[in-house]
Every structure is written in C-alpha cells, then in structure tokens.
Amino acid sequence: MAFKLGLFKTSVARKNVMAITGLFTAFFLIIHLAGNLILILPDSMFPIEFWGNVANQHDMYNAYSHFLVHFWPISIVAYILYAGLALHVVDAIIITLTNHKAKGEKYVKTDNSTSTWYSRNMGILGTIIGIFIVIHMGQFWLKYKVLGTEHDLYDLVVRTFKLTWVVVLYEIGIIALGFHLVHGFTSAHRSLGMYPKSWMKILKYIGVCFGIGMAVLYGIIPLIIYFQ
Amino acid sequence: MKITLKIWRQESAKAKGKLETYQLNEVEQDMSFLEMLDMLNEDLAVKGERSVEFDHDCREGICGQCSLVINGQAHGPESHYTTCQTHMRSFKDGDTIFIEPFRAKAFPVIRDLKVNRDSFDTIIQAGGYISAFTGNAPEANNIPIHHDISESAFDSAACIGCGACVATCKNSSAALFVSAKISHLAKLPQGKVERKERVEWMITAHDEEGFGSCTHTGACAMVCPQEVQLLDITRMNFEFNRALCIS
Ligand code: HEM
Ligand code: FES
C-alpha cells in the first residue's frame, strides 16, 4: 500500500513531531549543560591540563566556546537544532489552536484535581521558555557568533550574570523549563508509543529526575556567578 | 438533607444556555444521584415547568448513557464511578451542586444536560470491528489465548463509551476512548486482520469528528468509570507508528 501522506496531519503524528523535536532539544540541553558547568568548577581545580595544554577556567571556557563555533560538524547540528525548535514551536501553535477549536463551551465550575497544573499549561511554560531563549540568544549567541562584537565569552558571561534582573529572568526561564521537561519527557515517550508497562513506570521517574536535575544544575550557574 | 442545585438549562443546540437554581429539601442519603434529579423533575412537573433533561438508561453502570459534570468532575466526586452509581451520601446537607452537560465541540448539547455522542459511533464504525466468517459461532476454545492477554484485552474492552474522558480532557480529546478499542483488538488474534488499517481509520475519524489531541495530562484515566489505563493511549500511538512504518 502506498505511503499515506494524509496520516502526517493526524493528531497522533503531530504529537510525534512535538515529541521528536522536544526530545532532541532536551538531548541538546545535556550537552549544553556539560559545557557550561565549566563556569562553576571550583578554583582549586585550576590550572588544569587537557590535551597537553595547561589552562585556567577562563581559557578553558573560551576554548570550549571557540570549538563550538568553529568546528563545522557542530554547526550542522546547531542548524538542525534551530530548525527542530522552530518546528516544535510551530507544531505547538497548530496543536494548541486545533485543541482550542475542539473545546465546547466553558464549564462554569471546574475541578482540576485530576491532573497537574504543569501538564495543563505546557503552552504557557513553552512561551516563557521561548521568550527566555530569544533573550538568551540575544545576550550571547548574537553578540559572540553573529555580530562578533564580543570576543571574550567568559568575560561576557560573568559580566552579564552580575546583573540582578538577568539572574532573576534566568531563574524564571529555567524553572519553567524544569516543569516543561518533567511533563514533556514522559509525555514525549508516550506520544511515540513506547508502551511496555515496566518501562512506562520507570520513565515517569526518569522524567521527574531529568526535569528537576536540569533545572537545578542550570539554575545554580547564574546564582553562583552572581554571588561570587 | 437540603440541597441547592445549579443546573445548566438550554433549549436546543443553537440556544444560549444558563445555570438555573433549584432547591430540594427532602433529599435522602440513600438516593442515587439520578433519583435526586427524578425528584426534582416531579417537583417541576407539579409546578407545570419543563423537566430537566438528562441521559440515562441502565442505571447500573454498564450502558454508558448517563453523563453529567457534577461540581466540575465528570460523573461526580467518586473516582471511577458513573453518575448513575453516584449516591447522595457523597454530598452533605446544605451543599450546592453544579450540574453541567459533558462539554466538547464533538458533543453538541441537545437540550439541558443531554448531549449528542454520535461522534463516538462514527469512530467505532470507522474501524472498531473485526472481520469474521458468518455462520455458526465458532468453538470458543479453538484459538488459544494466554490468560494474561485475554484479561488485559478485557480491561480495554470494558470501556462503556460514556465520553467522560472527553468531558474531562482540557483538549476535548477522545484518545482514551479510541485507544481502548484499538488496544482491545490489537491484543487479540481476532483483531489482527485489520490491525494496521484500524488505527489509521479510527484516528482519522477521531480527528474528523473534531476531537482534540492528547497531552497526557492523565485526567481522563482518573475519571474513567471502567478504569481504562493511560497506557492504552501509549499503545495506540505505538500501533499508529507501526502502521506508518510498514505502509
Ligand atoms: C528548550 C526548549 C524546549 C524543550 C526541551 C521542549 C521539550 C518538549 C517535550 C519533550 C515535549 C513533549 C512532547 C509530547 O508531549 O509529546 C514538549 C511539548 C510541548 N512543548 Fe516544548 N520544549 C521546549 C521549548 C518549547 C517552546 C519554546 C514552546 C513554545 C512556544 C514549547 C511548547 C510546547 C508545547 C505546547 C508542547 C505540547 C504539550 C502537549 O500538547 O503535550 N516548548 N516540549
Ligand atoms: S445509566 Fe447506564 S451507565 Fe449510567
């Protein structure tokens, strides 16, 4: 039988796109975190020796970011990531609009005890994350990679995280991300149909650990720099 | 006990509805919720007012006809109960109870608390069946089925098609309903003939009927009178992706 293109417009296929792009972004978050944890390694670890070079924290962070920008395979993955995130947002908007159309008149009395608030508000959490991503990329990616007005990324990061409003904004964005992931991680696996019961059971806990873990680890970076 | 009722009254699908307040003074704890509404309707009949219309049939939790969102919860405060199995002992003297119809675009209100759930039939007609030879019923033990599998298939088959999942879902998705049928038949050898097409047809019908998509909030499984599991939705998604891959 011919491959049916129409099936890609179904609600389940849409959720698959949501899940794949979401999980890909979530995977990126791990790598992104690993690099940025350099920022909060204790001073006692430096100078450090890697690949035959002796470096302090400042050099190591800048070498890492230089590598990200100039190593071409990473650029390709970065473009896939931008496209994936864009697709995630577009798909989120389409899904939200179709779901909105499916709703009947509003209930006068509602009882929300049957589900968690963050599972009901993935769109709002996502919008907060979206706004955060735009600001975040404007602060670092735009200045360092696109405009080239900043060359010392370590210095830029430390300067930026000395500003109170920036740290507050980051914490809000990161907490929203944590909740988005706690629901999104498990939901994505369900959307893709990974159903064996034993797996579903652990998955829920992996999702919670992943979401909270990401939020805590990302969350402490601006705080530590701010209070240093 | 004294009960104040705030009931959704609506003349027809097109008309605008609103909550009306009614007072009942002699409600007994042992009455079922629907008997309490019968009592109200007798009062209204005496006064010459139009009775409150609501769906019901078996009144023993098996037909799936009763609906109602009671105080914001589909089928009322007891989890995994139908409205007809809910009793007034779940409420206190002096309570105010909000009663609204199941709400979703795909469940238009017919009148008052009655909604049209034909969309569910359309979905079942799209693929919720199996192919079998006509003639005499075959010998039941001809096809050996593992006990666990038949039990699991039966858990999914238990869906009574009431639509509480849709009424509760923030997206008005019927994923739990569709997945119960898909899982029921996917688990059994009898369902294998249309295994691939069934999931495509039923999900397409689900979308065409105007239901939303599943966000896995899990609210549906919390209110389902038959305790159909959220896991069935995951299985349906697996069946869908399997069908996509082999087509
Ligand atoms: C770092 C960024 C992000 C990550 C890692 C991420 C991850 C995820 C994951 C894994 C899912 C689950 C997919 C599923 O339920 O099948 C999801 C769902 C969703 N995301 Fe994101 N997301 C991110 C950013 C955003 C942004 C910027 C938006 C919005 C504008 C957004 C909106 C949504 C929405 C609406 C859903 C669907 C909820 C649902 O219907 O279940 N996300 N996300
Ligand atoms: S009236 Fe039959 S299930 Fe409630």
Please tell me which residue of chain B has the smallest CA distance to A118.
Answer: B217
User: Is the pLDDT reported for residue A60 higher than 70?
Assistant: yes
Give the other-Cβ count within 10 Å of B233's Cβ.
30
CB A130 within 8 A of CB A161: no
User: What pLDDT score does A2 carry?
Assistant: 45
Question: Nearest ligand to the C-alpha of residue A98?
Answer: 1
Q: Is the peptide bond before A222 cis (omega within 30 degrees of 0)?
A: no
User: What pLDDT score does A5 carry?
Assistant: 63
- The β-bridge partners of A50 are A53
Task: Supply the ipTM of this predicted assembly.
Answer: 0.90
Mutate to test the interface with A, among B103, B107, B168, B171 (most CBs of A within 10 A): B171
Domains of chain A in sequence order: 11-227 (1.20.1300)
**CA dist list (Å): A37 to A31, A32, A226, B111:** 10, 9, 15, 61
User: What pLDDT score does A4 carry?
Assistant: 62
Instruction: Answer whether A188 contacts ligand 1 (Cβ < 6 A).
Output: yes
Question: Residue B185 belongs to what domain range?
Answer: 117-246
User: Is the pLDDT reported for residue A50 higher than 80?
Assistant: no
User: Is the pLDDT reported for residue A201 higher than 60?
Assistant: yes
User: What pLDDT score does A1 carry?
Assistant: 40
Using the CB atoms, write b or e for A81-114: b if 16+ within 10 Å: beebbeebbebbeebbebbeebbbeebebebeeb
pTM of the full structure: 0.91
Instruction: Answer whether A15 contacts ligand 1 (Cβ < 6 A).
Output: yes
Q: Structural domain tally of chain B?
A: 2
How do residues A121-177 score in pLDDT, each as one tens digit? 999 999 999 999 999 999 998 888 888 888 888 999 999 999 999 999 999 999 999
Instruction: Answer whether A129 contacts ligand 1 (Cβ < 6 A).
Output: yes
Cα of A19 to ligand 1 centre, how many Å? 8
Least CB–CB distance from A114: residue in B71, B103, B223: B223
How far apart, in whole angstroms, are the C-alpha atoms of residue B42 and residue B23? 13
Q: Residue B162 maps to which CATH number?
A: 1.10.1060.10
Same domain, B107 and B121: no
Same domain, B28 and B124: no
How far apart, in whole angstroms, are the C-alpha atoms of residue A158 and residue A62? 12
Contact: A195, B8; criterion CB under 8 Å: no
Mutate to test the interface with B, among A12, A20, A198 (most CBs of B within 10 A): A12
Query: Tens of pLDDT along chain B (247 residues)?
Result: 999 999 999 999 999 999 999 999 999 999 999 999 999 999 999 999 999 999 999 999 999 999 999 999 999 999 999 999 999 999 999 999 999 999 999 999 999 999 999 999 999 999 999 988 888 888 878 889 999 999 999 999 999 999 999 999 999 999 999 999 999 999 999 999 999 999 999 999 999 999 999 999 999 999 999 999 999 999 999 999 999 888 7
Same domain, B240 and B122: yes
User: What pLDDT score does A3 carry?
Assistant: 52
Cα of B114 to ligand 2 centre, how many Å? 13
Same domain, B96 and B19: yes
